[in-house]
Copies of this chain bind each other. A is one copy, B any other.
Amino acid sequence: MSAYDELMAHVRETQLLAEVAGRLGWDMETVMPHGAAAQRGDEMAAMENVLHARRSDPRIGEWLAAAEPADDVARAQLRLIRRSYDQATKVPADLAGRIARTTARAHGIWARARAEEDVAAFLPALAEVLALRREEAAALSGGTNPYDALVDQYEAGMTEARLAAMFDEMRPRLVALRAAILDKPKPGQVNGRFDEAAQLALSREIAATFGYDFDRGRIDKAVHPFSSGSGADVRITTRTSETDPFNCLYSTIHEVGHAAYEQHVDPAYAATPLGSGASMGVHESQSRIFENQLGRSRAFTGHLFGRMSETFGDLGVADAEAFYAAVNRVSDGYIRTEADEVQYNLHIMLRFDLERAMIAGDLEVGDLEAAWNDRFLADFGYAVDKPSNGVLQDVHWSYGLMGYFPTYALGNVYAGGLHAALRRDVPDLDDRLAAGDVSAATGWLAETVQRHGGLFEPAEVIARACGGTVGPGPLLDYLEAKFGAIYDL
């Protein structure tokens, strides 16, 4: 066997083990008995030790030095393997194990603290997680910007400075758009009690419409909707609200966007570093364009209005036009995952600024709730009423995912660029969406983005699909046009 082949055999087995570790996370969120949390933490730490040992195996360094790539695919594999090896060898095995164990425990504590509106109960665990992640960031960054090292884990090549610049460009136009909209009368809302089983059945139908392959996946309920797994086993979760059917439906469409990405990667890349999405930002671009630019379009909501009326009877809105306005209603709200397209990125900016302050050591966890509440009041104009609507609402920090939130905004920006390119390439898109046919759009995304998996760098796969580098411009143009029309601005 050549050095390259030996390397790939090693890496393939590591990928399979990483799938197993990922499945433990799915299990923990969906079906695991409560009393198993501590043991599960130990199990995940044991898996993390195995993965870390395999990813930092010194033979990888030797194989990388000797490997001669035969083509662009092999070159891309080596790029991702080198990246993983560099990251793994910079983080001591013991630290990686402690992070796995501590975050598994912190997650359970967060879930209880959120249910009991008890921030203080979560803070000691969060402090431990933060300290470990700062230790990891210091090891990864080697004295340069530690937050950059964390962001880079989720989005290769992205930096705090570039994100800050992106947000600086977005903020004035989003703030102005939000203010203009909130000056206008609010559209009506969908009204009623919506049977949970019917919501779940309709969300399964819509998932299939958006191309989710149930033979290689499944949908379950969980506190936090997510997508998990690669290749032939990509599972998603959703949640329901008796009074808000859009929570379930659009959570599902969002996660189907993530899952479709994983399900559409070229099968030749299965169980290799190329076999998953290019980055968290590119991943989020797929879920966001599924959810927003397609799922919340005037054309598709016309179809959805029909299916929901058939399913639930009178929805409390007059017609498809009123339904469209209700789906895209901009109003006050505390929860990021329920935020409309206009305000969503403001929620991200808040988290970005708080978490980079924590990583920099400028914000202690003891001051976090106050900092959150102050900033929320300043940005949104009303006070947080309870921790589950504020600092305890998101799962991420309990898992140590500092540096992850900005990739959501990046995904929105990428989705804006992809949507503009999609409209150019598929001129009759609205006619198709109005008929409930999403396949031209999902097919275009599968062909231009999803099938490549990790073949290209994140920014490159987006640029190739869009025909040039993408900044916040197309997203902001789209938002101003869409909401300008709905709100008669």
Question: Which residues between 184 and 232 of chain A lie within 8 Å of chain B, taking CB atoms?
Answer: 213-218, 231-232
**Which of B13, B31, B232 contacts A38 (CB under 8 A)?**
B232
A446–chain B nearest beta-carbon distance, Å: 17
Contacts of A34 in B (CB 8 A): 215
* B24:A216 contact, CB within 8 angstroms: no
Contacts of A38 in B (CB 8 A): 232
Given A20-B24, A46-B16, also A218-B35 (CB < 8 A): no
Q: Does A141 contact B (CB under 8 A)?
A: no
Contacts of A36 in B (CB 8 A): 216, 232-233
Q: Does A39 contact B (CB under 8 A)?
A: yes
* A46:B13 contact, CB within 8 angstroms: yes
Q: Does A486 contact B (CB under 8 A)?
A: no
Q: How many copies does the complex hold?
A: 2
Give A233's nearest chain B residue, CB to CB: B36
Question: Which residues between 21 and 77 of chain A lie within 8 Å of chain B, taking CB atoms?
Answer: 23-24, 27, 31-36, 38-40, 42-43, 45-47, 49-50
Question: Which residues between 247 and 290 of chain A lie within 8 Å of chain B, taking CB atoms?
Answer: 270-271
* Among A20, A215, A217, residue most surrounded by chain B Cβ atoms (within 10 Å): A20
Given A27-B23, A43-B19, A271-B42, also A233-B50 (CB < 8 A): no
* A35:B271 contact, CB within 8 angstroms: no
A45 to B17, CA, bound (A): 10
**Which of B33, B214, B218 contacts A31 (CB under 8 A)?**
B218
**Which of B24, B42, B213, B233 contacts A40 (CB under 8 A)?**
B233
Contacts of A17 in B (CB 8 A): 43, 46-47, 50
Contacts of A16 in B (CB 8 A): 39, 42-43, 45-46
Given A38-B232, A39-B270, also A47-B20 (CB < 8 A): yes
* A19:B33 contact, CB within 8 angstroms: no
A217–chain B nearest beta-carbon distance, Å: 6
Given A31-B218, A218-B33, also A39-B13 (CB < 8 A): no
A231 to B39, CA, bound (A): 8
A19 to B47, CA, bound (A): 11
A214 to B32, CA, bound (A): 11
Contacts of A214 in B (CB 8 A): 33
**Which of B13, B39, B270 contacts A233 (CB under 8 A)?**
B39
Contacts of A35 in B (CB 8 A): 213, 215-216, 232-233
A263–chain B nearest beta-carbon distance, Å: 10
Contacts of A31 in B (CB 8 A): 31, 218
Give A215's nearest chain B residue, CB to CB: B35
A199 to B20, CA, bound (A): 33
**Contact flags A385-427 to B (C-beta < 8 A → 1, else 0):** 0000000000000000000000000000000000000000000
In the A-B complex, the 8 residue pairs with the smallest Cβ-Cβ separation, listed nearest first, are A36-B233, A35-B215, A16-B46, A35-B216, A39-B232, A36-B232, A13-B46, A16-B43
**Could you write out 10 A-B pairs with CB less than 8 Å apart?**
A17-B46, A20-B20, A20-B43, A20-B46, A32-B233, A33-B214, A33-B215, A33-B218, A36-B216, A40-B233
Task: Given contact pairs A33-B233, A38-B232, enumerate 4 new A-B contacts (beta carbons under 8 Å).
Answer: A16-B46, A19-B39, A33-B214, A36-B232
